[in-house]
Amino acid sequence: MSSSHQVQHEHHDMMQTNQPHDMDMMNHGGHMMHMGNMALKLKVAIILMIPLLLISPIAGFTILKFPGSELVQLILGTAIFSYSGTPFFSGAKGELKSHKPAMMMLITMGITVAYAYSVYATIITLTGGMAMNFWFELSTLIVIMLIGHLIEMKAIMGAGDALKDLASLIPKKAHLKNGKDIDISELQVGDTILVKENEKIPADGLILGSANIDESMITGESRAVNKKPNDPIYGGSLNQNIPFEMTVTTIGKDSFLNQVAELVKNAQSQKSNLENMADKVAGYLFYAALSVGIISFIFWAITSSFSFALLLAVSVFVIACPHALGLAVPLVVSRLTSISSKNGLLIQNRTSLEQIHSIKYALMDKTGTLTDGKFKVRKVIDFTGRTDILQLMATLEQSSTHPIALSIVNSAKDLPLLSAENVQNIPGVGLSGQILGKTYEIVNLKYLRKQQLKFDDTRVLEFLNLGLTLSFLIDEEKNVLGFIALGDSPKNDAKAFIAGLLAQGIIPVMLTGDNQATAEKVSTSLNIPEFRAELNPEDKANLVKEYQKKGGVLFIGDGVNDSPALATADIGFAIGAGTSVAIATADVVLVNSNPSDVLDMINISKKMLRKMKQNLWFGAGYNIIAIPIAAGIIYPFTGLYIDPLIAAVLMSASTVIVSINAMSLKYDKKTTDR
């Protein structure tokens, strides 16, 4: 197998491992529990519980009693405990190994105490004595606990559906141009393949014809995108109308969907500050429940009876199981990553989103963020009377991928380009290189003024007043030969985006390497209150630090030149679809490249935090109230107490409530109040 085949095969396998069978498990204390095994253990427990309930004393009354029924109770109860209780024993073992006792330890303590005492009570009864056993409570307790865990696991699986959805987008086969069908793991860069009508595209590439493509898996928008020859298309998109051929350009780890899957997977595995706090509280809860349970047992053993004391101690251990607290945050953040990915928002660092309420400033790059980055050459000005300004600049720029460079090269497509040597980037300025043995540089206006080079100020000011970007050509004697005036346009939703930020109480600040006049023109047209112009990439990071002294800062940029600023900001948003989705320094990637998607992320994050806090308050508040009641604090005054069965029902109910609240997190762009 070739190396390219091998890479594709490995990452195809990665997508396959995100299939449902891997989602059918959850981790407690480092121990993986499979949903299928737990469902079987629940069925066995229910089957054995039915005869056990018929022959066990419930509130002093037994439905069916016969000689030897106590021994049958012992056998059935032991079978339920030893087989159906194993998920809790394994989880408790994992918690002990990790030195983080929590819910599994509490459950294990509760059912072990109930089992041990029931065995003791049965032996006393079989030898002629009188003692109340807990076989009824034990069996129902295990059944309810298993049901609660299955509900929890299904909720987590539902929240993780994004990975399964992504894996299902890629078809299994691809049609080669010669008519042969091959597995997608066999595709290579450069292959020409056919995509038929209403088929999903099997790989990233360039379209050779034209078609309407449904890219909703990228953009979150159901509207079809018209693709023309050499436009990029992405694996998993849907061809809506006519068959077309395409050239494969990206496979393996660099393909769009594999990167999306990795981002979603990594985001879901991260732990936020609130989640870490919930874990700590769950750990404290174990020690609190253990202490209260022991104190309760001692108190009621002295003031009432051993059986009653044991019953309340078991109730304390059961009702204190921190399922609700443990699920309070993970389900919400898991749901968050799923919703966000479907809205074209890929979260790489979800913990940063907890700072959303502290954000006061939104610093953003101009080109490609607020403007479309599609520069057009508006005018070529030659100061010397020479006619090769465009040809020389295009020759130097032909190896660059910067939007301005691409526009210059495209404008010179009818000119014969020369050969350029020793082309080097000049950070924050432009580039230099040699053509026919002479050295030339392409520089910006800031450089000319800094070097105090002479040029026609009147001609330059004429184009600056139009809000155009100017690129100058100078020779090795530092003579300014001329310039090219270029312009791009604000994105359609840029003005609405700025208005949306201001409505949120966030002050937008535009940062650009462009000249002052152009920056002012753009900021005025978009109603941006503050801007900084003629910046180098490192200047942007320093400005982020400067604004951070006054409040929280989010930064929006293209993820390449803006990487330092993206990494410095409290929350970094990277603009860019396709392979740009791999930007490592951003917290969130805006796949659709629309700045207004930042508003969606702000609104989703606020809803996420609200759900987290609701769940944490419920999870912690429930235990603060429930544990003392289970310990019998109100029994002397009301005669009411909680037995283990009711404790299990209440504990499971709290888990279900928290799960439902987490899964109710929804976001609809059409109905958002942004």
DSSP, collapsed to helix, strand or coil, labels residue 62 as coil
* Active-site residue, from 191, 214, 279, 365: 365
Q: Are 552 and 359 contacting, i.e. CB atoms less than 8 angstroms apart?
A: yes
Within 10 angstroms of residue 132's Cβ, the number of other Cβ atoms is 17
Cα 324 to Cα 661: distance, rounded to the nearest angstrom: 11
365 is catalytic: yes
- What six digits make up the tokens of 150? 């299955």
- What six digits make up the tokens of 62? 């037994």
What is the residue-wise DSSP string for 495-522? HHHHHHHHHTT-EEEEE-SS-HHHHHHH
Closest CA to 514 of 444, 611, 424, 439: 444
Closest CA to 557 of 546, 569, 570, 573: 573
3-state secondary structure 526-558: CCCCEEECCCCHHHHHHHHHHHHCCCEEEEEEC
DSSP, collapsed to helix, strand or coil, labels residue 355 as helix
620's CB contacts (< 8 A; 6+ apart) are 281, 325
Q: Are 112 and 317 contacting, i.e. CB atoms less than 8 angstroms apart?
A: no
3-state secondary structure 150-182: HHHHHHHHHHCHHHHHHHHHCCCEEEECCCCEE
Q: Are 140 and 80 contacting, i.e. CB atoms less than 8 angstroms apart?
A: no
Q: Are 244 and 209 contacting, i.e. CB atoms less than 8 angstroms apart?
A: yes
The Cβ-side half-sphere exposure at 587, using a 13 Å CA radius, reads: 26
Amino acid residing at 542: N
Amino acid residing at 670: K
Only one residue has tokens 């209150």, namely 529
Q: Are 390 and 484 contacting, i.e. CB atoms less than 8 angstroms apart?
A: yes
DSSP, collapsed to helix, strand or coil, labels residue 3 as helix
Q: What is the DSSP secondary structure assignment for residue 190, as one 8-state letter?
A: T
Q: Are 213 and 276 contacting, i.e. CB atoms less than 8 angstroms apart?
A: no
DSSP, collapsed to helix, strand or coil, labels residue 48 as helix
What is the residue-wise DSSP string for 383-445? SSS-S-HHHHHHHHHTT--SHHHHHHHHHTTTS----EEEEEEETTTEEEEEETTEEEEEE-H
Closest CA to 84 of 116, 40, 122, 114: 40
Residue 85 to residues 35, 81, 145, 317, 572, Cα–Cα distance (Å): 14, 5, 9, 15, 46
- What six digits make up the tokens of 409? 């090269």
Which residues are marked as active site? 365
